[in-house]
Amino acid sequence: MKQRPVVDVSHLPTYGFGAASPMWWGTLAFIALEATGFALAIGTYFYLAVLAPHWPIAAPAPDLAPGTAILIILLASLVPNHLVDRWAKQQDFHKVRAGMVFMTIVGILPLIVRIWEFPALRISWDQNAYGSIVWFLLALHTSHLLTDVGDTIVLAVLMFTQKGKVGRRLSDVSDNAFYWDFVVASWAVLYLVMYWAPRM
């Protein structure tokens, strides 16, 4: 078949940010499927709550302190997170490096606090269905937190190597910031469900 060139793409860039990047769409798709997982787990929580004569079943409502502390840390982290995203889009390598180190620390903090959060649920996972579902929700969120912190650490290290001085890495940093927003937003919802629904 004969070919008839009609479009020249030679001067197009090799990376972009946000909706221009396939990786952003991939990240969005993963967020969508994980959000569905969260939604179904939350649905399970309320399904079991409606069936139970008393909710929580045979346990006091969870202790507010650690979960609230994590919520505050995560909400506060949105500020540096968006700064890193902005610096990435401005292609400012120096600020991105500093921001990624900071975001690594900000990401590890809630993981440390979470060590106290599991006992603060004041029930074991195998005691009854209420215990099972709150542990499930918390573990689900912790796995997301761990994943994104891991990703942040790897990207932060990468930014200090020769291979980090590449425009495409900045696009990765921006997508990482996007995913962190999801981790924060999902905790805001889970926090309300786990800590305030039993107090209603």
Partner 1 sequence: MSSIRQKNADRIEELKGVRDTGLDEARLVAFLAHAWQTPKGLYGWLATVDHKVIGRRYVVTAFLFLILAGLSALVMRFQLAAPEAGRISPDFYDQLFTMHGTTMMFLFAVPVMEAFAVYLVPLMIGTRNVAFPRLNAFSYWIYVSGGIMIWIAFAFNTGADAGWFSYVPLAGQFYGIGKRPDFWAQMVTYTEVSALAVAVEIIATVLKQRAPGMTLDRIPLYVWSVLITAFVILFAMPAVMVSSTMLILDRLVGTKFFDQAAGGDALLWQHLFWFFGHPEVYIIFIPATGFVSAILPTFVRRPVFGYLGIVLSLIAIGFLSFGLWVHHMFATGLPQLGESFFTASSMMIAIPSGIQVFCWIATIWGGRPIFATPLLFVLGFIFTFVIGGLTGVMVASVPIDLQVHDTYFVVAHFHYVLVGGAVFPLLGAVYYWFPKATGRMLSERLGHLNFWFVFLGFNLTFFPMHILGLQGMPRRVYTYPLESGWGSANLFISLSSLVLFVGFALFFLNMLLSFRNGLPAGDNPWGASTLEWATTSPPPSYNFPRLPVVTHREPLWAEPDTLAVIEGLRVDAREVLGGMVADAVPQLRLPSADNSIWPLLSATAVGGTFFASIYTPWAVVWGAIPISIGFICWFWPKGEPEDEE
The residues of the shown chain that bind partner 1, judged by CB under 8 A, are 1-16, 19-23, 25-26, 29-30, 32-34, 36-37, 40-41, 44, 47-48, 51-52, 57, 125-133, 135-136, 150, 154, 158, 163, 166-169
- The answer to whether residues 137 and 45 touch, using CB atoms and an 8 Å cutoff, is yes
Minimum separation from the CB atom of position 197 to partner 1 (A): 15
Q: How many CA atoms lie within 13 Å of 16's alpha carbon, on the beta-carbon side?
A: 9
Minimum separation from the CB atom of position 133 to partner 1 (A): 7
Minimum separation from the CB atom of position 158 to partner 1 (A): 7
In the complex with partner 1, the residue whose CB is nearer, 19 or 115, is 19
- Residue recorded with tokens 């479009």: 7
Whole-angstrom distance, CA of residue 150 vs CA of residue 144: 10
In the complex with partner 1, the residue whose CB is nearer, 28 or 83, is 28
- The answer to whether residues 137 and 190 touch, using CB atoms and an 8 Å cutoff, is yes
Structure letter (DSSP) for residue 55:
S
98: Cβ contacts below 8 Å, ≥ 6 apart: none
Whole-angstrom distance, CA of residue 45 vs CA of residue 197: 10
Minimum separation from the CB atom of position 68 to partner 1 (A): 26
Minimum separation from the CB atom of position 5 to partner 1 (A): 5
Whole-angstrom distance, CA of residue 108 vs CA of residue 135: 20
Residue type for 16, please? G
In the complex with partner 1, the residue whose CB is nearer, 125 or 191, is 125
In the complex with partner 1, the residue whose CB is nearer, 13 or 199, is 13
In the complex with partner 1, the residue whose CB is nearer, 46 or 196, is 46
